[in-house]
């Protein structure tokens, strides 16, 4: 296991975001965050314990607001990969 529960990435197009999210998920928290940072991508990696690692321009919300309800969407192109 990678130690991650999910990875979400925002990019200009969905295909690159999907690929980047999958790669970051496979690499795990440290190497996955570095992968996104070196490519200038914004994303959030969620560890198995629920902790969040925001990368790039991903919003850094206070802990009480860090979780969005499932099924919500935003206007940015992006992708999420999870170990569900």
Of the pLDDT bands very low, low, confident and very high (cuts 50, 70, 90), residue 1 is confident
**What share of the chain has pLDDT > 70, as a percent?**
71
The pLDDT value given to residue 17: 94
Q: Please tell me the distance from the alpha carbon of residue 75 to that of residue 77, in angstroms, as a whole number.
A: 7
- SS3 track for 4-66: EEEEEEECCCHHHHHHHHHHHHHHCHHHHHHHHHHCCCEEEEEECCCCEEEECCCCCCCHHHC
- Does residue 59 carry a pLDDT above 50? yes
pLDDT of residue 54: 95
Rounded percentage of the chain residues whose pLDDT exceeds 90? 61
- The answer to whether 36 and 9 have CB atoms below 8 angstroms apart is yes
Domain boundaries along the sequence of the chain: 4-61+75-82
Per residue in 43-73, is it b (16+ CB within 10 Å) or e — as a string? Answer: bbbbeeeeebbebeebeeeeeeeeeeeeeee
- 36-40, 44-48, 65-69: range with lowest mean pLDDT: 65-69
Answering whether pTM is above 0.85, one says no
């Amino acid at each position: 296991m990678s130690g991650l529960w999910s990875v979400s990435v925002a990019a200009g197009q969905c295909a690159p975001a999907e690929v980047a999210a999958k790669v970051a998920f496979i690499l795990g928290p440290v190497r996955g965050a570095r992968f996104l940072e070196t490519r200038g991508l914004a994303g959030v990696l969620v560890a198995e314990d629920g902790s969040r690692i925001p990368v790039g321009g991903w919003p850094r919300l206070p802990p009480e607001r860090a979780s969005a309800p499932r099924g919500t969407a935003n206007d940015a192109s992006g992708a999420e990969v999870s170990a569900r």
